Amino acid sequence: MSDNSLLQAMYQSVGINPHTLWAQPDVARIEIHANQVLGVHLVHGLEVDARQLDDGIEARILVTKGTRIAKPIQVCFGMIPDNGVQRIILEIVVEDDARAGVVAHCTFPNARNIRHEMDARLTIGRNAEYAYIERHVHGAEGGVVVIPRSKVRVLEGGRYHTDFELIRGRVGQIDIDIELVGEAHSTSEVAARVSGSGDDRINIREVAHLAGAYARGVLQTSVALRHRAEAMVHNTLRASAPYARGHVDCKEIVQDQAVAKAVPVVEVTHPKAHVTHEAAIGSVDSRQLETLMSRGLSEDEAVDLIIQGLLLKGRSGSQPAGVSYQADVLSVTSS
C-alpha cells in the first residue's frame, strides 16, 4: 500500500475523514504507521524530532514556553496489517505557561497478532496545561497486545488531563501503567475507559503522588466486561503535602462469566491532606435495566445503553481545553 493509502485506511478505521483534517492549516498532525512517520504538520511553538527504529519510532515533542496551541494536535498511529510490532518511545515536554491538547487515534483494525508498546515521559511545566486523549480502535479478533507506559511530572501550577478509551473492537490484552507526580498547586486527572469481551485481559495500574501543597488529583477507571473477559485495576493515590486533595473512582460492570478485580489504595502522609476513594463492581443495576425496558428496549439493548453511559462518562464531564466530543466523533474546536 502507498503511504497515502495507509493513512487513508488508518483515518477511515477511526471514523475520520483525513481530508477535513488536512484542509486545516492551524491543526498540527503527526501520523505514524508501524515504524514510519507518514506525515508531520507543525504549528508555531510545536517542535517534533522523530527518529525511525527497527520496530517503531522514537520522538521528542516540545511545546515551547508560553505557546498556546488553540486546536488539539492530531496524532494518528497504528498498523493496518494484521501482524507486527510497533514500539513508540516518546518524550513530551510542555514548557512553562504553554498549553496544548492532543487527540491520539490509535488503530489496529485488522489485528491478529500485533504488539504495540508505548513508553512516554512527560513533563508539564509550571502553569502549563496539557490534555491527552488516546482513543483506540481494534479489530474484532482481539489479536493485539497493547502496553502503554507513562511517567508524568506535573510541575507547580501545571494542569494535566489524560483519557484513555478502548471501547470499539476487542481489547485483546492491555497493560496500562501510568505513574504521575503532581507538584504544588498542580491538577491531574487520569481516566481510563475500557470495554472487554471474549477472553480479553485488561490490567490497569495508575499511581499518582500528590507531592506538593494544594496539588489535586483524580484517578478514574470505568471497565465493562462480558463473556470470559478479565480485568484487574490497581489505583494508588498518595498525598504527602498540606491541602493536597485526591479522589480515586473505579467502576466495573461484569456480565456472563467475566471477572473484575479492583484494588484502590489511598495513602495520606500529611495531616492536612485528604484523599477519598470509591470502587463499585457488579452487574448492571436492575432498576436502571427495568427503567429502560419499560420504555421498550430489549434487555440487551438496555444493557448496551447503560454500559455506553458508564464508558462515556468521562466525555460528559470536564474536557480538556480545545478538545470536545460531538456525538461519537472527536472534533477539533477552537478553544
Partner 1 sequence: MTILELKNVTLCLDGKRILNDLSIEFWQGHIHALIGPNGAGKSTTANVIMGLSGYTDFEGDVLYQGRSIKGLTIDQRARLGITLAWQEPARFEGLSVYSFIKAAARNSGDAKVREVLRQVGLDPEKYLSRSVDRTLSGGERKRIELASILAMQPKLVLLDEPDSGIDVEALERIFDALKLLKQQGTTVIMITHSLAVLRHAEHAFLLCCGRLVSKGAVDKIANYFQQRCIPCDHQELKLREAEGLNVG
- Quick one: 239 or 307, whose CB is closer to partner 1? 307
Dihedral (CA of 39, 90, 117, 13) sign: negative
Q: Which residue has the cell 511553538?
A: 45
Quote the least distance from Cβ 123 to partner 1, whole Å.
Answer: 32
Instruction: Measure the CA–CA gap between 311 and 131, rounded to whole angstroms.
Output: 19
Quote the least distance from Cβ 281 to partner 1, whole Å.
Answer: 14
At position 294, the amino acid (one-letter code) is: S
Instruction: Measure the CA–CA gap between 3 and 302, rounded to whole angstroms.
Output: 42
Quote the least distance from Cβ 317 to partner 1, whole Å.
Answer: 8
- Quick one: 267 or 301, whose CB is closer to partner 1? 301
- Quick one: 212 or 320, whose CB is closer to partner 1? 320
301 φ, ψ to 5°? -65, -40
Quote the least distance from Cβ 79 to partner 1, whole Å.
Answer: 31
Q: Angle at Cα 232 formed by Cα 152 and Cα 112, nearest 5°?
A: 90
Instruction: Measure the CA–CA gap between 233 and 177, rounded to whole angstroms.
Output: 10
- Quick one: 139 or 314, whose CB is closer to partner 1? 314
Quote the least distance from Cβ 275 to partner 1, whole Å.
Answer: 21
Dihedral (CA of 319, 186, 131, 55) sign: negative
Instruction: Measure the CA–CA gap between 116 and 104, rounded to whole angstroms.
Output: 14
23 φ, ψ to 5°? -80, 0
Quote the least distance from Cβ 51 to partner 1, whole Å.
Answer: 40
Per CB under 8 A, residues contacting partner 1 are: 222, 251, 285-288, 290-299, 301-302, 305-306, 308-316
Q: Which residue has the cell 504488539?
A: 115
Quote the least distance from Cβ 319 to partner 1, whole Å.
Answer: 11
Dihedral (CA of 135, 139, 142, 145) sign: negative
- Quick one: 25 or 296, whose CB is closer to partner 1? 296
Quote the least distance from Cβ 189 to partner 1, whole Å.
Answer: 16
- Quick one: 269 or 276, whose CB is closer to partner 1? 276
Closest CA to 320 of 307, 328, 330, 310: 330
- Quick one: 21 or 305, whose CB is closer to partner 1? 305
Instruction: Measure the CA–CA gap between 186 and 225, rounded to whole angstroms.
Output: 33
227 phi-psi bin (left φ>0, alpha ψ -120 to 50, beta other): left
Closest CA to 10 of 68, 76, 64: 76
- Quick one: 19 or 295, whose CB is closer to partner 1? 295
- Quick one: 123 or 308, whose CB is closer to partner 1? 308
Quote the least distance from Cβ 304 to partner 1, whole Å.
Answer: 10
Residue 221 near residue 192 (C-beta atoms within 8 A): yes
296 phi-psi bin (left φ>0, alpha ψ -120 to 50, beta other): left
